[in-house]
Chain A
């Protein structure tokens, strides 16, 4: 049985991603925004859409790079949090959540307006608000009980809606009166930019694709494709719609209308039939857009909870329906409150749209910053499939930030006040709630370091010797939480032993074994593992007085990944765990460990951790090319509890009394110690004389808590034999067993103590 951990399926294909992203974008906005836009900029509002579309396209490009680099739930929030740390994470998380709530309320008021519009006996703002709340109630209800992706109902609804919109455009073209377009930009450039701030709400649709990035098939391909495609096609559609709408109905009239598209349709689409069709499409659009917003909001809340920036209680899923019902109810309640504000505030629709735009403009600006930070820091886990091409980087992020700031600066005072209120909320939330809980640190610091490394000559005070300092690096693959502590402790001891010449450094790594398949979400596993790593490794090594870094990888072969990392880090040693048994098939220690032992370009140690303490280590100072390394490790490990290690040698009794076996043993140990560069006062010697070497070793090591054994490498056969001694030791012992292999140096023939040993001074 393979007893894998649970896999996460990627179920959303091209069509689903387009319905979520594009559907939301052409959704509600198309029916409400033409009125607001015409009021703000006349026929030139089509230019506003072009500008908004351009700003969105820049954001979509940056977001696509980040989303393919880290395709997991949470969208922009996750990337900003990873790049810039908890404060900005909190700002963007809250900004996205509230932005989605404002947008949802905006859609639902539009829903009310379109229902009330064609029915003459229904009238008044109270009714609009009431219908909006009822519609929202319906959506929250559906989401509470949960829906199934495979029904396809949403695809059909949005398909019908799209057809109605296209018919509207196609027929409308014939009714355009050029006289209506004569006064193209009545409010001038400032009006156009200000209107951009209103219509930008449309473009939070592609963000929804990013929030469900963890569920999209072939994320490397589909995420950039659907994001860019939806932004471009929706922008073109809106531009045409604005020209048609303001061409058919004069912008002054259109601007005053609550149901602008119905007004146009009553002229161009056969009167009543057109109005009915548009009303139907508007209702569908509002509901599907609002629905998508709620889906996206619960993903953001989940992602925040994952980083301890939000209470996990909000993320508990329903026992029976498996929906995040608390998050959905909370989102729905706040959205309902915003809709009810419509009773008091006259311009509620524009205000809701603009606040949502503000939040997402701020979010996208920070996304651009995040791209720059990730490029600068270049953490190992960041390997986006879609990368901004050379010509676009850093132009896209810089232009994106500048344009977002320009659009925000033209917004009305109350919007800016509310928008900044949300930012302050994020900061305060972080300071009061999250700071002590969240452990995620941004990679921004690394990015700054990266830049400093690149530009040492230009920066005063950074001396090249600092960066060029020698480090003794040990790569520690960690996987098992129970033995992690023991491994790191041994590694830290081993690294610190070199502190006089080189600065000690540990690289804790974890590999998720997976092929890069398109349908399975290994990214999410990666995040879970990474968090466990970050939390535990840093906790454990705190106070061990070594530099610690962590690396998290997804590779098909664990052993090869370890070897590769050891090479990249220019490691001096790899210290990995071992379960104490030998493989029964073609492998000696198992596929992974065999790869590490045979290919790692440095010392390699396999440690079976079974004791909480290191105690007094013993090394088998017998023949074999790696005995000196084993002795060296024993000396290093002894520093943990400041004991003196024992070097053990077993000799057979003298066959014909030619030389004293005890003396031979001492000579052999001295030879090993000399090869390892260990001074005489650093170890004690124990020599056992026995016929049966193996059982003598087993008896002698019984009292020790940590046993270091050099790997025998004379032939495949003896390797296996030797492995079996190590295995037998590990079966009998309760303590730790470390199998040691030194770095292979070319041209150095592994030799054994011979006659030359005699010249060792036995001080």
Chain B
């Protein structure tokens, strides 16, 4: 079981509060977690990855275990603490303000 923390905009869109728990088949990577997320919440299709290129949107980052995984290969295996459900996988929207 993978725990996923979504940014506020996407929680609202998916109509969830708190963390999302997902079962991921095979190797748990950012790509497979997002695949599982989109399968369960089809309204999130295209919001984290560009629908055409399937690449991470430029204002979206992936964090886990106090590391920024955004620039790692999207199919890299997630840390053990994430795959065991001890620590969440974070989808982060770039900070906005003024």
Q: A and B from one assembly?
A: no
